[in-house]
């Protein structure tokens, strides 16, 4: 029996022992990293939202984010605990090469593993061989060969330890009718150093198998495709039995080659389109039946297989040295980074956007409320002042205006903050009456004659003066005629007589109050109203804004920490 290929394979395992790096210092590192991430996110997500009502949209968004963190933290912890069998397996075999026998149900995994055990025993009869299974999160020894269908019916990982350095894991099939088998496969594949992908020659390289392998191969593990059961059953006539019997025959080399090329082509296409497979190896077609029938490794394809497996050990050795780091990175990538890139960033963005919208609306409401209440107060200023015109009671005016403004502000601010704050801080507007101009009298001034008797004498003097003036005019202008002369004389006399009369009058200036002037009072009131309204609105809204703005700061801080974590763990 040709054993050189087998010896080469196991010689590579012996060389592996000399280059194996221990990873004891990695013990518990995954848990430490996850705790570090959890603490960082928890400390960065303390949203002080006491100013918000339970019904406000921001409250709901913050609660959603907080709950997401809580759920994810619990989920991560459970996954770490659930991964303990995987970690136990890896720790137990940390100084060994582990190959995962991977494929769908009835791909021939168990028969393949049994054949490898038989070949190993033939070469190293004195070495220890131990079959085991994972039960109740513990590795227990089992007796006897692997039974076809065993893993599918029990939904457990089983394996065999060959000598000091080599382990085969025979897993539940990818397409097992019991879904939990497939989940177990995905969980424990992380413990393996390389993957032997077994696909039956009856339907080799099915696309759905490649799709499921893509998820695992993205982790960079070496892959060797193996086409199993490269034989075929034909019906033949048995002369002795005088009946038709089923006869198993080897597939021709050409037939095997065609299948290998077909599967290889699919792998190459998958690699080009998705890049999941880091290195595409050519498939190897084997038949355990052929080997059992002819005891010929070459004819059965097993010689080629073990030569490739020897190369795979070299590849796996490099991966083994990085295994602990890879397991941590895989967990972080699949659980933590996916959450940081997706859900948490979306929720942070929602809170940040909503907070910015709230702050923007408050700033707009600041001007709207100020303008609205100011306009209303100015409109009623004259009415209130006029109400107290007779009493001239400035305190009453101020009291009415204070009440008007306080009521209007209370209504508008309450509407602005409806559903936003749990309670509106108490306030009242207090205009200062001492800074308001006083009522002013509206007056008129005029002159009047003092003393009625003197006024009559003056009028009489004016008449006499006019008569005398007329006579004088006739004498001065005789040529004009008595009529004109009399007229001129009368005019002169009248002037003289009037002057004499005025000289006899006593004139006085009299000032009288005819009404009340409120113009200056209204101006001072409106100025104080505008100032008071602005101060009150600013004080109320600034108080709310001061409680909301930290939410934005928390978002910024949390987003910054998330980006730092992504940068730190993506390296």
- Lowest mean pLDDT segment, chosen from 33-47, 168-182, 362-376, 419-433: 168-182
The answer to whether residue 479 scores a pLDDT higher than 80 is no
Beta bridge partners of 168: 99, 160
User: In this predicted structure, what is the pLDDT of residue 230?
Assistant: 78
Average pLDDT of the chain, as a whole number: 78
Whether residue 53 lies inside any domain: the answer is no
Look at 396 and 506; give whichever has higher pLDDT: 396
Domain count across the chain: 2
Query: Can you give 491-536 as a three-state secondary structure string?
Result: HHHHHHHHHHHHCCCEEEEEEEEEEEECHHHHHHHHHHHHHHHHHH
Whether residue 4 lies inside any domain: the answer is no
- Lowest mean pLDDT segment, chosen from 236-250, 325-339, 456-470: 456-470
Separation between Cα atoms, residue 115 and residue 289, nearest integer Å: 10
Report yes or no: 392 and 440 within 8 Å, Cβ to Cβ. no
Report yes or no: 358 and 552 within 8 Å, Cβ to Cβ. no
User: In this predicted structure, what is the pLDDT of residue 427?
Assistant: 66
Tokens matching residue 524: 């001072």
- Lowest mean pLDDT segment, chosen from 236-240, 414-418, 458-462: 458-462
Separation between Cα atoms, residue 418 and residue 412, nearest integer Å: 10
- Please compute the mean of the pLDDT values over residues 276-301 and round it to a whole number: 83
Same domain, 290 and 193: yes
- Lowest mean pLDDT segment, chosen from 258-267, 268-277, 409-418, 445-454: 445-454
Q: Calculate the dihedral angle through the C-alpha atoms of 399, 402, 406, 409, rounding to the nearest 10 degrees.
A: 150
Separation between Cα atoms, residue 260 and residue 436, nearest integer Å: 102
**pLDDT band at residue 183 under the 50/70/90 scheme:** low
Angle, helix 323-331 to helix 84-92, in steps of 10 degrees: 170
Q: List all residues 6 or more positions away from 188 whose beta carbon is below 8 Å from its beta carbon.
A: 85, 86, 89, 100, 134, 157, 169, 171
User: In this predicted structure, what is the pLDDT of residue 277?
Assistant: 74
Separation between Cα atoms, residue 332 and residue 37, nearest integer Å: 10
Looking up residue 137, the CATH number of its domain turns out to be 3.40.50.300
Same domain, 368 and 253: no
**pLDDT band at residue 181 under the 50/70/90 scheme:** very low
Q: List all residues 6 or more positions away from 453 whose beta carbon is below 8 Å from its beta carbon.
A: none
Whether residue 410 lies inside any domain: the answer is yes
Question: What is the DSSP-derived secondary structure letter of residue 189?
Answer: G
User: In this predicted structure, what is the pLDDT of residue 425?
Assistant: 58
Tokens matching residue 488: 């001129």
**pLDDT band at residue 453 under the 50/70/90 scheme:** very low
- Please compute the mean of the pLDDT values over residues 543-549 and round it to a whole number: 89
Look at 283 and 481; give whichever has higher pLDDT: 283
User: In this predicted structure, what is the pLDDT of residue 130?
Assistant: 92
Whether residue 301 lies inside any domain: the answer is yes
Whether residue 354 lies inside any domain: the answer is no
Same domain, 104 and 236: yes
Of 112, 110, 191, 93, give the one whose Cα is nearest residue 150. 110
* Inter-CA distances, 488 with 299, 365, 481, 500, Å: 166, 84, 11, 18
The number of residues making up the chain comes to: 571
Same domain, 237 and 313: yes
Which of 285, 306, 338 is the endpoint of a domain?
338
Which of 278, 305, 338 is the endpoint of a domain?
338
- Lowest mean pLDDT segment, chosen from 66-80, 197-211, 228-242: 228-242
Whether residue 453 lies inside any domain: the answer is no
**pLDDT band at residue 426 under the 50/70/90 scheme:** low
Separation between Cα atoms, residue 70 and residue 284, nearest integer Å: 49
Q: Where are the alpha helices (DSSP H) in 417-518?
A: 452-476, 482-502
The answer to whether residue 530 scores a pLDDT higher than 80 is yes
- Lowest mean pLDDT segment, chosen from 124-133, 383-392, 448-457: 448-457
> Which pairing describes strands 158-162 and 223-228: parallel, antiparallel, or unpaired?
unpaired
pLDDT one-digit tens code per residue, 117-151 = 988 888 888 888 999 887 776 778 988 777 655 44
Composition of the chain by helix, strand, coil, percent to 5 = 60, 15, 25
Separation between Cα atoms, residue 38 and residue 70, nearest integer Å: 9
Report yes or no: 497 and 464 within 8 Å, Cβ to Cβ. yes
- Please compute the mean of the pLDDT values over residues 380-392 and round it to a whole number: 93
Same domain, 178 and 259: yes
Report yes or no: 97 and 165 within 8 Å, Cβ to Cβ. yes
Same domain, 102 and 29: yes
Same domain, 389 and 297: no
Same domain, 87 and 155: yes
The answer to whether residue 78 scores a pLDDT higher than 70 is yes
User: In this predicted structure, what is the pLDDT of residue 346?
Assistant: 94
Long-range contacts of 532-536 (CB under 8 A, 24+ apart): 532/405, 532/429, 532/430, 532/431, 533/370, 533/373, 533/374, 533/377, 533/405, 533/409, 533/429, 534/370, 534/374, 536/405, 536/409, 536/427, 536/429
User: In this predicted structure, what is the pLDDT of residue 154?
Assistant: 46
Report yes or no: 197 and 170 within 8 Å, Cβ to Cβ. no
User: Counting Cβ atoms within 10 Å, is residue 434 exposed (0-12), middle (13-18) or buried (19+)?
Assistant: exposed
- Please compute the mean of the pLDDT values over residues 80-96 and round it to a whole number: 68
The answer to whether residue 246 scores a pLDDT higher than 80 is no
Tokens matching residue 525: 């009131």
Same domain, 144 and 184: yes
Q: Calculate the dihedral angle through the C-alpha atoms of 11, 267, 261, 292, rounding to the nearest 10 degrees.
A: 40
Separation between Cα atoms, residue 67 and residue 59, nearest integer Å: 12
Of 318, 310, 1, give the one whose Cα is nearest residue 166. 310
Same domain, 138 and 244: yes
- Lowest mean pLDDT segment, chosen from 21-30, 332-341, 460-469: 460-469
Three-state SS for 374? helix
Please name the helix (run of DSSP H) or strand (run of DSSP E) that holds residue 14, with its range, or none.
Answer: helix 4-19
- Lowest mean pLDDT segment, chosen from 276-290, 344-358, 455-469: 455-469
Handedness of CA 365, 366, 372, 376 (dihedral sign): positive
- Please compute the mean of the pLDDT values over residues 405-410 and round it to a whole number: 90
Same domain, 112 and 174: yes
Q: Give whichever of 320-324, 453-457, 470-474 has the largest mean pLDDT.
A: 320-324
**pLDDT band at residue 298 under the 50/70/90 scheme:** confident
Range of the domain at 435: 360-447+510-570
The answer to whether residue 374 scores a pLDDT higher than 70 is yes
**pLDDT band at residue 98 under the 50/70/90 scheme:** confident
The answer to whether residue 219 scores a pLDDT higher than 80 is no
Same domain, 174 and 319: yes
**pLDDT band at residue 461 under the 50/70/90 scheme:** very low
Whether residue 503 lies inside any domain: the answer is no
The answer to whether residue 86 scores a pLDDT higher than 80 is no
The answer to whether residue 489 scores a pLDDT higher than 50 is no
- pTM for the full predicted model: 0.53
Neighbours of 500 (CB within 10 A): 15
User: In this predicted structure, what is the pLDDT of residue 47?
Assistant: 92
Whether residue 455 lies inside any domain: the answer is no
């Amino acid at each position: 029996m040709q054993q050189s290929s087998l010896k080469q394979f196991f010689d590579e395992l012996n060389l592996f022992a000399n280059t194996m790096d221990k990873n004891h210092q990695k013990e518990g590192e995954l848990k430490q990293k996850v705790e570090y991430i959890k603490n960082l996110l928890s400390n960065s997500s303390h949203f002080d939202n006491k100013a918000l009502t339970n019904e406000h949209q921001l409250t709901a968004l913050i609660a959603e984010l907080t709950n997401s963190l809580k759920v994810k933290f619990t989920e991560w912890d459970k996954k770490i605990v659930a991964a303990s069998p995987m970690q136990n397996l890896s720790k137990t075999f940390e100084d060994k090469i582990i190959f995962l026998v991977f494929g769908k149900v009835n791909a021939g995994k168990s028969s393949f593993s049994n054949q490898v055990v038989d070949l190993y025993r033939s070469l190293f009869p004195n070495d220890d061989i131990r079959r085991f299974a994972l039960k109740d999160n513990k590795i227990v020894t089992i007796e006897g060969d692997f039974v076809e269908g065993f893993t599918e019916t029990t939904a457990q990982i089983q394996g065999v330890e060959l000598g000091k350095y080599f382990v085969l894991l025979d897993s539940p099939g990818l397409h097992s009718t019991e879904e939990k088998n497939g989940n177990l496969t995905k969980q424990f594949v992380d413990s393996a150093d390389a993957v032997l992908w077994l696909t039956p020659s009856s339907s080799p390289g099915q696309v759905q198998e490649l799709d499921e392998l893509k998820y695992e191969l993205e982790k960079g593990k070496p892959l060797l495709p193996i086409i199993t059961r490269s034989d075929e059953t034909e019906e033949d006539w048995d002369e002795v039995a005088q009946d038709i019997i089923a006869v198993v025959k080897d597939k021709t080399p050409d037939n095997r080659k065609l299948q290998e090329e077909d599967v290889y082509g699919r792998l190459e296409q998958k690699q080009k389109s998705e890049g999941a497979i880091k290195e595409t190896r050519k498939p190897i077609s084997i038949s355990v039946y052929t080997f059992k029938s002819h005891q010929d490794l070459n004819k059965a394809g097993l010689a080629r297989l073990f030569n490739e497996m020897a190369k795979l050990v070299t590849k796996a050795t490099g991966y083994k040295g990085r295994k602990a780091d890879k397991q941590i990175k895989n967990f972080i990538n699949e659980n933590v980074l996916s959450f940081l890139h997706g859900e948490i960033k979306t929720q942070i963005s929602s809170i940040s956007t909503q907070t910015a919208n709230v702050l923007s609306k408050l700033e707009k409401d600041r001007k709207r409320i100020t303008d609205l209440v100011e306009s209303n107060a100015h409109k009623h200023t004259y009415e209130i002042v006029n109400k107290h015109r007779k009493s001239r009671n400035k305190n009453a005016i101020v009291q009415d205006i204070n009440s008007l403004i306080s009521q209007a502000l209370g209504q508008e601010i309450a509407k602005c903050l409806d559903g936003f704050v749990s309670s509106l801080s108490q306030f009242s507007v207090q205009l200062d009456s001492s800074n308001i101009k006083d009522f002013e009298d509206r007056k008129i001034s005029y002159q009047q004659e003092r003393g009625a008797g003197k006024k009559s004498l003056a009028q009489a003097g004016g008449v006499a003066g006019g008569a005398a003036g007329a006579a004088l005019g006739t004498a001065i202008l005789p040529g004009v005629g008595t009529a004109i002369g009399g007229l001129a004389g009368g005019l002169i006399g009248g002037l003289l007589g009037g002057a004499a009369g005025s000289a006899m009058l006593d004139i006085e200036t009299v000032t009288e109050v005819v009404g009340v002037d409120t113009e200056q009072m209204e101006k001072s009131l409106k100025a104080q109203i505008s100032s008071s309204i602005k101060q009150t609105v600013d004080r109320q809204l600034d108080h709310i804004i001061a409680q909301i703005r930290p939410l934005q700061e928390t978002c910024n801080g949390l987003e910054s920490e998330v980006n730092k974590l992504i940068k730190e763990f993506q390296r």
